[in-house]
Amino acid sequence: MLPGLEAVLRTGVLHGNGEVGQRVERWMERTYGFRHVLLTTSGTHALELAMMLLDAKSGDEAILPSFTFVSTANAVLRAGLVPVFAEIDEETLNISPQDVAKRVTPKTRVIIPVHYGGVACDMDALGSIADEHKLAIVEDAAHAIGASYKGRMLGGIGAMGCLSFHDTKNVTCGEGGAFVTNDDRLAARAETIREKGTNRAQFLRGEVDKYTWVDIGSSFVISEILAALLEAQFAVIEEITKRRKTIYEFYLTNLRPLEQRGLLRLPVIPPYAQTNYHLFHILLPTEGIRNALMVHLRNAGIGAAFHYIPLHSSPFGKQFARGDLPVTDKVSRCLLRLPLYPDLTEAESSYIVEQIAEFFSKISRE
């Protein structure tokens, strides 16, 4: 068993905001330059906490991409805000600042950029829109642990940021997340909301002599058991990222000839972004080719997958749609993610590239 986990079990103190969780929070603050980190039970809960902290009026609007996971939009709705779906940029697949600017109304309160695949959104462009209209930026940095924008770590650039440690993410404890802010006032209130609306955190620091109900809240504190798993993951984050980088760059180099022949498009990382290699996707010319390649790879024993169904066309999300989002629709239909995880061997990644090449020579013969 992991020594850190065994130590937690020995103490018998399994609930949250204990020694291990706090040690991970302080480590993240030092390592990433975040002023305040609060571990949460999930990335979804970090987003819900952030939206609660906006203290929005019912009917206020949040601008977010349609090309994201459902949690971004659920958090908006649960805080009484209306989701306004924006278009993505064709190259980065991140929210398009030009499109965001067009969707700002007097009711807009917040912009929620999602750093897709760990590649930073254009934060300067979004920042100037936010400044001009006095809007908050809450980063959905669920994909983005350890990734940065012009040297600043993602999650720590907007007023608030949300990370995920779900087991599909680079660093995981099964289910977990983190709320990040550089604002002392927001951090103090976040601490209360995370502890069921009580001042228990102040009590633990000896600042008050009993704890009681002081604000609205929920139960967003991660257990010490999961914090111990997370601590073990952070101990090896550099190796994890290095392995992912090797595989990512292998795909880029070896699929480049297919891109040069116009058969597919490779991911684009703008000069301002340092990725954490969370995802590797390719874009096929049509949905038909994407689906045929996915079947070809599956028959070869390779699990390649599409990604988000755009929220504005989902059964629940379409009630919030305001017109078409053609880039989002096209990307969603033509995108395929290739296997990318630290244990993927060199032989396996070579085999994947060969099978993709084999697919294109097969269809050109047909």
Ligand X SMILES: *Cc1c(COP(=O)(O)O)cnc(C)c1O
Site residues, ligand X (CB under 6 A):
42-44, 68-69, 71-72, 114, 140, 142-143, 164, 166, 177
CA-wise closest residue to 193 among 58, 40, 14:
40
* Dihedral over Cα of 237, 239, 244, 246: its sign: positive
- Least separation in angstroms between residue 206's CB and ligand X is 32
- Least separation in angstroms between residue 247's CB and ligand X is 20
Measured from the CB atom, the residue of 276 and 349 that comes closer to ligand X is 276
- Least separation in angstroms between residue 213's CB and ligand X is 26
Query: 153 - beta bridge partners?
Result: 148
- Least separation in angstroms between residue 319's CB and ligand X is 20
- Least separation in angstroms between residue 205's CB and ligand X is 27
Helix 184-194 and helix 43-53, axial crossing angle in degrees, nearest 10? 120
Rounded to whole angstroms, the Cα distance separating 179 from 26 reads 13
By three-state DSSP, how is residue 309 classified? Answer: coil
Question: How far is C-alpha 300 from the chain's CA centre?
Answer: 30
CA-wise closest residue to 186 among 151, 147, 137:
137
Q: Show the 3-state SS of 322-362.
A: CCCCHHHHHHHHHEEECCCCCCCCHHHHHHHHHHHHHHHHH
By three-state DSSP, how is residue 167 classified? Answer: coil
User: Amino acid identity of 62?
Assistant: A
- Least separation in angstroms between residue 70's CB and ligand X is 8
Measured from the CB atom, the residue of 45 and 265 that comes closer to ligand X is 45
**Nearest to ligand X by Cβ — which residue?**
43
Contacting residues for 6 by C-beta, under 8 A, at least 6 apart = none
Query: 177 - beta bridge partners?
Result: 40, 164
The two tokens of residue 133 are 């209209």
Ramachandran sector of residue 174 (left: φ over 0; alpha: ψ -120 to 50; beta: rest) = left
Measured from the CB atom, the residue of 36 and 143 that comes closer to ligand X is 143
- Least separation in angstroms between residue 144's CB and ligand X is 9
- Least separation in angstroms between residue 174's CB and ligand X is 10
User: Amino acid identity of 36?
Assistant: H
